[in-house]
Structure 1
Amino acid sequence: MESVLNALHYAGIIFLVIMVFNLMILVHEWGHFLAARWRGLKVDKFQIWFGAPIWKKTYNGVQYGLGWIPAGGFVALPQMAPMEAIEGGSGEREQLPPISPLDKIIVAFAGPLFSFMLACLFAIVVFNVGKPEQEGMVTTTIGWVAPDSNAAKGGLKPGDKILEIDGRPVKTFGGLVDSVRWNVVSSENNPIPFLVERPGEPKPLLIPVTAEIVEKEKGSFFSFLFKRKQLREVGIAGKQTPMVAGTQENSPAAEAGIQATDLITSVDGKELLSLYQLGDYIEKNPSKPLELGILRDKGKPTEKQLTVNVTPRQPDIRPDDDKGRQLIGVIWDQNGLRQISHPRPWTQIRDALKTMGATISAIVSRKSEINMGHLSGPIGIGRAYYTLLDDPYGLQRVLWFSVVLNVNLAVMNLLPFPVLDGGHITMALFEWIRRRPINIRILEVVQMACVFLLLGFMVFVSMKDAGDMVGSGGKGDKREPKQEYRFLPANQRQTAAPAPGQ
């Protein structure tokens, strides 16, 4: 029964992903459709997804259909630039009266306009229902510095509040363009200057930190085709109070009474800024009884501060390659404490526009390490929606992501590239200035060349998206299933058979 419920759960998420994705395409193409009707253009087809239709129906002279290539959509307008390669036309062109450049501009601009309007609608909904934000993402205070990392070597410390990176102010640790992560990966300097405010220091400190790419696997033909180039990092994480998702049965944490949603605020009187910090502390103080400060039921009438004593120990059953680690048996909530914010609609739109502008600038810059391979296509977008929906705050996260994605869709389509709406507008302006249409044969060659470029790009990013789903390595993981850490009841610990290899 449980497996059936899980299957229904995942099937429901996939269905919602398809619906949300198609809604954005539908609204964009609906803008073209309504504008074409308004300006008196002939409409041959209205189709979601590209390629030959797997379903179609003609109504009032318009063929409505669903294509077999799950990417994008189109409205076939024979009086606009020819696009038979995408729209599945026969190449036989009906003799129709020409339309003015203004009509072409209005019809082409209507798609991005409707995408932008949909983004605004989503932004209004987000403003009302709220957006969940992780504690570790909205702060600019460092919670953890990886040992031997470039950040540690440069002099960054937990508790430092980052004010600027590369001379640009930062507002959050993760997220859009004003974040610590974005400014590290997009910086064209190395080392990168960090301006930080440190407790006890009379004025901010300027600390240069070298960023580097940490390769997670050796290069291979599979990696070349499917893996994205790693982005630079310095080895820091934002401040995040460790939050308990649960405890392992019979573990020291369970025996001490630690519960799900407990916040571990301190260890032996020292404030905890990260769950990694607690792990480091246990590793450096093996078998030492710990005094943990716990905040229970935060934000509820029953909220209270507790002190719990717990002694780490080795799990009774552990993997072959275990090196004697001592644990307390806590299962951590990686998202940590989350709060609901209500960003104003214009703020959401502005941030999405800034993100799009910064991304394009980084891609075209010679000094930037961000390239076309870091973009995503339909597979990556669908996977992102799936991940967002499979979350307790799934609906709210999807609404916010839809604001960003629809703004991106509007901006990308306005780029002056033939096939895109911006290309149609550019050609119409050129026609307006010349006072005569562009030669149809030249137009066909340009359009076809750009169609193949666009399809090639879609294949390229889809391969990267597929590589993200498969994971590292192209041959699969043929290792034996990893053994888990387990704690046994007190009356079984002395007689328990050791795990293989112990």
Structure 2
Amino acid sequence: MSILKIIIVVLEALFALNLLIFVHELGHFLAARWRGLKVERFAIWFGKPIWSKTFNGVEYALGWIPAGGYVSLPQMATMEAIEGKTDEKAEQLPNVSPLDKIIVAFAGPLFSFLLAILFAVIVWQVGKPEGAADVEPVLGWVTPEGPAWKSGLRAGDKILEVDGHPIKTFGPPSQDSIKWRIITSEGTNIAVKYLRDGKEAMAYPTYIKQKTSWYERRALRQVYLGPIAKPVVGDVLTNSPAHLAGLKRGDEIVAINGDKILSLLAVEYAQELMTNKSIPPINLTVRRGTEEFNKEILAAAPTTPTNFPPIFGIVWLDKTNHTLTYPGPWEQIEASAKQIFATVGAVINKKNDIGVQQLGGAVMIIRVYTNFFQSEDGWRWVLWFSVVLNVNLAMLNMLPLPVLDGGHILLSFIEVVRRRAVNPKILNYIQSGFAILLIGFMAWIAFYDVGDWIRNSRSERRANEPIMFAPKK
């Protein structure tokens, strides 16, 4: 990808994220104007402004810390350490009723929720891309000698329950997915109910966690299985074994040595075994249109890059199982809310391996948006992901913690009970202290997000290196 294309994609991702922040803060801004509160600044991102302009007595600014935004309201709880000193102190301004404060605080999450509904309606009309992993809990691949294999699970098994939880899909974001229930499992053995040939059975795989370095997130539980992923040829490398065998774009590999396969991982595994030079060629059953035929193939090492392992030279066709679905607006909102509750529950549950370290921040969100913008049907993914993020933004901001909107609402209720406001100076210390803690936490999460992005980019560059085979005489 060219530098210009990368810059454009990143700018698109930043625009998508900041649109969510802008609409949330716009809710606070409009409500404050409506209720007669003094508005000093409308800022996207925190910290000292790198750009600002004053219009009608309000400073509009862009901060240098990419961590949300704020509307500076001196008559409510301020955060001078983050927002800067206000021109007028709360004591110098007219009192604001607790009800007005609640309305202003609630308006941000309300606008985020309304934006989520708007995006959900659009997704309902234009469709959401879904693959086999999103719509059916059927195993497409089980790694031989892995934990799932040793427990008796095989490709083609339909998973009904994991640890007693009903299963609807293979992969996240649904909490009713195989992957989610495995990574959030609590025991040493994971109870899996499956259906094979019309009969129900149980398997009890143990789990494996990969070792990670101090600068990486802790690995989560795995049992080494994968979803259905049709092995359809997208291209073959010139002079490669696949090219010499006559494979073409659109060919589907349906069996290896006579055994039916459901995932391209089966072909990749057979290829990997051929690093052992004593492995004989395999027989692929290939479907081309309505015709099926067999081809014998043996992996070979390319000339470029050097020291590259033996491969078949097949480039797989991406997203062969994707279809468009049209979930209703409320279905999308409900699914997003359930996943947020499930995530929070998993984080606070000390019996599983998920912790706050597994959460993602602004960098992760930008990365996800960037990946979506680069993909086919990316704009549809962006719309769907924006539903999830807006519901997330609305719900998490309602937590009754200082700095968050829920904290402002809680303070207003305390004011009603006490019949007087909390001392502004004490409130400023509390707000600013929590804001600094929040930004510190976000910086900690960003450290892992950036590391993941860099390592993933390196892997992609290696995977995209030109591969060349010598001509066969």
Residue aligned with 2:50, SS: strand
Query: Following TM superposition, by how much is the alpha carbon of 1:281 offset from its aligned partner in structure 2, in angstroms?
Result: 4.5
Give the corresponding residue for 2:444.
Answer: 460
Q: Distance in 1 between matches of 2:463 and 2:145?
A: 31
| Aligned pair partner of 2:168 in 166, 171, 179 | 171
1:247/1:210 CA distance change after superposition, 3 Å: same
Opposite residue 381 of structure 2, the aligned amino acid is R
1:377/1:482 CA distance change after superposition, 3 Å: closer
Q: Distance in 1 between matches of 2:260 and 2:422?
A: 69
Give the corresponding residue for 1:118.
Answer: 115
1:278 and 2:267 matched: yes
Q: Distance in 1 between matches of 2:194 and 2:422?
A: 57
1:328 and 2:325 matched: no
Q: Normalised by the size of structure 2, how large is the TM-score? A: 0.91
Q: Distance in 2 between matches of 1:463 and 1:66?
A: 23
Structure 2: segments with no counterpart, 5+ residues: none
1:338/1:305 CA distance change after superposition, 3 Å: farther
| Aligned pair partner of 2:352 in 365, 368, 373 | 368
Q: Distance in 1 between matches of 2:295 and 2:151?
A: 36
Residue aligned with 2:64, SS: strand
Structure 1: segments with no counterpart, 5+ residues: 297-303, 492-502
Residue aligned with 1:370, SS: coil
Does the Cα contact within 8 Å between 2:305 and 2:468 map onto a contact in 1?
no
| Aligned pair partner of 1:8 in 4, 24, 29 | 4
Q: Distance in 1 between matches of 2:86 and 2:42?
A: 16
The RMSD of aligned alpha carbons is 2.6
Does the Cα contact within 8 Å between 2:159 and 2:167 map onto a contact in 1?
yes
Range 433-442 or range 113-122, more displaced: 433-442
Query: Following TM superposition, by how much is the alpha carbon of 1:280 offset from its aligned partner in structure 2, in angstroms?
Result: 3.9
Identity %: 42
| Aligned pair partner of 1:152 in 124, 144, 149 | 149
1:398/1:91 CA distance change after superposition, 3 Å: same
1:316/1:78 CA distance change after superposition, 3 Å: closer
Q: Distance in 2 between matches of 1:165 and 1:335?
A: 27
Q: Residue deviations 1:245-293, cap 9 Å, x none?
A: 2111122322444333433233454321111222444648944462423
Does the Cα contact within 8 Å between 2:251 and 2:286 map onto a contact in 1?
no
Range 456-465 or range 481-490, more displaced: 481-490
Does the Cα contact within 8 Å between 2:361 and 2:445 map onto a contact in 1?
yes
Query: Following TM superposition, by how much is the alpha carbon of 1:431 offset from its aligned partner in structure 2, in angstroms?
Result: 1.2
Query: Following TM superposition, by how much is the alpha carbon of 1:107 offset from its aligned partner in structure 2, in angstroms?
Result: 0.6
Give the corresponding residue for 2:36.
Answer: 40
Range 364-373 or range 440-449, more displaced: 440-449
| Aligned pair partner of 1:210 in 186, 206, 209 | 206
1:91/1:58 CA distance change after superposition, 3 Å: closer
Opposite residue 331 of structure 1, the aligned amino acid is V
Residue aligned with 1:104, SS: helix
1:488/1:19 CA distance change after superposition, 3 Å: same
Q: Distance in 1 between matches of 2:228 and 2:190?
A: 21
Give the corresponding residue for 1:197.
Answer: 195
Q: Residue deviations 1:432-461, cap 9 Å, x none?
A: 122221222332222122112111111111
Residue correspondence of structure 1 range 378-457 to structure 2 within 5 A: 378-457=362-441
Q: Distance in 1 between matches of 2:205 and 2:145?
A: 13
Opposite residue 192 of structure 1, the aligned amino acid is I
Query: Following TM superposition, by how much is the alpha carbon of 1:36 offset from its aligned partner in structure 2, in angstroms?
Result: 0.8
Q: Distance in 2 between matches of 1:388 and 1:481?
A: 19
Query: Following TM superposition, by how much is the alpha carbon of 1:136 offset from its aligned partner in structure 2, in angstroms?
Result: 3.8
Residue aligned with 2:48, SS: strand
1:60 and 2:56 matched: yes
Q: Distance in 2 between matches of 1:59 and 1:322?
A: 61
Range 279-288 or range 395-404, more displaced: 279-288
Give the corresponding residue for 2:471.
Answer: 489
Give the corresponding residue for 1:185.
Answer: 183
Q: Distance in 2 between matches of 1:280 and 1:19?
A: 41
Query: Following TM superposition, by how much is the alpha carbon of 1:78 offset from its aligned partner in structure 2, in angstroms?
Result: 0.9
Query: Following TM superposition, by how much is the alpha carbon of 1:50 offset from its aligned partner in structure 2, in angstroms?
Result: 0.8
Q: Residue deviations 1:51-76, cap 9 Å, x none?
A: 11111111111111111112211111
| Aligned pair partner of 2:65 in 59, 69, 82 | 69
Q: Normalised by the size of structure 1, how large is the TM-score? A: 0.86
Range 48-57 or range 280-289, more displaced: 280-289
Q: Distance in 1 between matches of 2:62 and 2:308?
A: 53
Q: Distance in 2 between matches of 1:18 and 1:232?
A: 32
Query: Following TM superposition, by how much is the alpha carbon of 1:313 offset from its aligned partner in structure 2, in angstroms?
Result: 4.4
Give the corresponding residue for 2:129.
Answer: 132
Does the Cα contact within 8 Å between 2:250 and 2:288 map onto a contact in 1?
no
Aligned residues: 465
Opposite residue 94 of structure 2, the aligned amino acid is P
| Aligned pair partner of 1:254 in 233, 243, 266 | 243
1:51 and 2:47 matched: yes
Query: Following TM superposition, by how much is the alpha carbon of 1:404 offset from its aligned partner in structure 2, in angstroms?
Result: 0.8
Q: Distance in 2 between matches of 1:74 and 1:428?
A: 19
Q: Residue deviations 1:359-415, cap 9 Å, x none?
A: 111111121211111111211111111111111121111111111111111111111
Does the Cα contact within 8 Å between 1:294 and 1:305 map onto a contact in 2?
yes
Q: Distance in 2 between matches of 1:194 and 1:363?
A: 23
Range 286-295 or range 342-351, more displaced: 286-295
Range 276-285 or range 358-367, more displaced: 276-285
Q: Residue deviations 1:225-252, cap 9 Å, x none?
A: x311111111111122112221111223
1:236 and 2:232 matched: no
Range 334-343 or range 122-131, more displaced: 334-343
1:92/1:44 CA distance change after superposition, 3 Å: closer
Give the corresponding residue for 1:290.
Answer: 283
Q: Residue deviations 1:285-323, cap 9 Å, x none?
A: 944462423254xxxxxxx44435343242453666567
Q: Distance in 2 between matches of 1:290 and 1:490?
A: 21
| Aligned pair partner of 2:253 in 261, 264, 269 | 264
1:343 and 2:327 matched: yes
